[in-house]
Copies of this chain bind each other. A is one copy, B any other.
Amino acid sequence: MSSPLRVGIAGLGTVGASVIRLLERQAASLAASTGRTISLAAVSARDRAKERGIDMKGAQWFDDPVALAQAPGIDLFVELMGGDEGPAREAVEAALKAGKSVVTANKALLAKHGMALAKLAEEKRVALAFEASVAGGIPIVKTLREGLAGNQIGRVYGILNGTCNYILSRMELEKMSFDDCLREAQRLGYAEADPTFDIGGFDTAHKLAILTSLAFGVAVDAEAIHIEGIQSITLEDLTAADDLGYRIKLLGVAQRTPEGIEQRVHPTMVAKTSAIAQVMGVTNAVTIDADAVKELTLVGPGAGGDATASAVVADIADIARGIRSAPFGLPVAALEKAPRRAMQRHEGGYYIRLSVVDRSGAAAAIATRMAQRNISLESIMQKSRGAAKGASSGEPVSVVLLTYATTESNIREALEAALSDGYIAGRPQVIRIERE
Which A residues lie at the B interface, using CB under 8 A? 18, 22-23, 25-26, 29-30, 32-34, 131, 137-139, 142-143, 145-152, 217, 275, 278, 290-301, 304, 306-307, 309-314, 317-318, 321-323, 325-326, 329-331, 334
| Total copies of the chain | 2
Verify A150–B313 contact, CB threshold 8 A. Answer: yes
Q: Given known contacts A314-B150, A325-B33, is B300 in contact with A295 (CB within 8 Å)? A: yes
Alpha-carbon distance between A334 and B33 when the two chains are bound, in angstroms: 9
Which residues of the other chain, B, contact A304 by a CB distance below 8 angstroms?
294
Verify B313–A321 contact, CB threshold 8 A. Answer: no
User: Closest residue to A277 on the B side, CB-wise?
Assistant: B278
Which residues of the other chain, B, contact A22 by a CB distance below 8 angstroms?
150-151, 292
Verify A149–B33 contact, CB threshold 8 A. Answer: yes
Alpha-carbon distance between A298 and B285 when the two chains are bound, in angstroms: 10
User: Closest residue to A305 on the B side, CB-wise?
Assistant: B292
Q: Which 3 A-B pairs have the closest CB atoms?
A: A150-B313, A139-B147, A137-B293
Partner of A275, one of B32, B137, B278: B278
Partner of A330, one of B33, B138, B292, B294: B33
Partner of A147, one of B292, B295, B314: B314
Verify B30–A149 contact, CB threshold 8 A. Answer: yes
Partner of A293, one of B290, B297, B307: B307
Verify B326–A323 contact, CB threshold 8 A. Answer: no
Verify A317–B32 contact, CB threshold 8 A. Answer: no
Partner of A329, one of B33, B301, B312, B326: B33
Which residues of the other chain, B, contact A139 by a CB distance below 8 angstroms?
142-143, 146-148, 296
Verify B146–A318 contact, CB threshold 8 A. Answer: yes
User: Closest residue to A304 on the B side, CB-wise?
Assistant: B294
Alpha-carbon distance between A258 and B124 when the two chains are bound, in angstroms: 47
Q: Given known contacts A292-B306, A293-B301, is B217 in contact with A314 (CB within 8 Å)? A: no
Alpha-carbon distance between A58 and B381 when the two chains are bound, in angstroms: 63
Q: Would you mind naming 19 contact pairs between A and B with Cβ atoms under 8 Å apart?
A: A18-B292, A22-B292, A26-B151, A30-B149, A33-B325, A131-B147, A137-B293, A142-B143, A146-B321, A148-B314, A149-B313, A150-B313, A150-B314, A278-B278, A292-B309, A293-B307, A293-B310, A298-B299, A321-B323
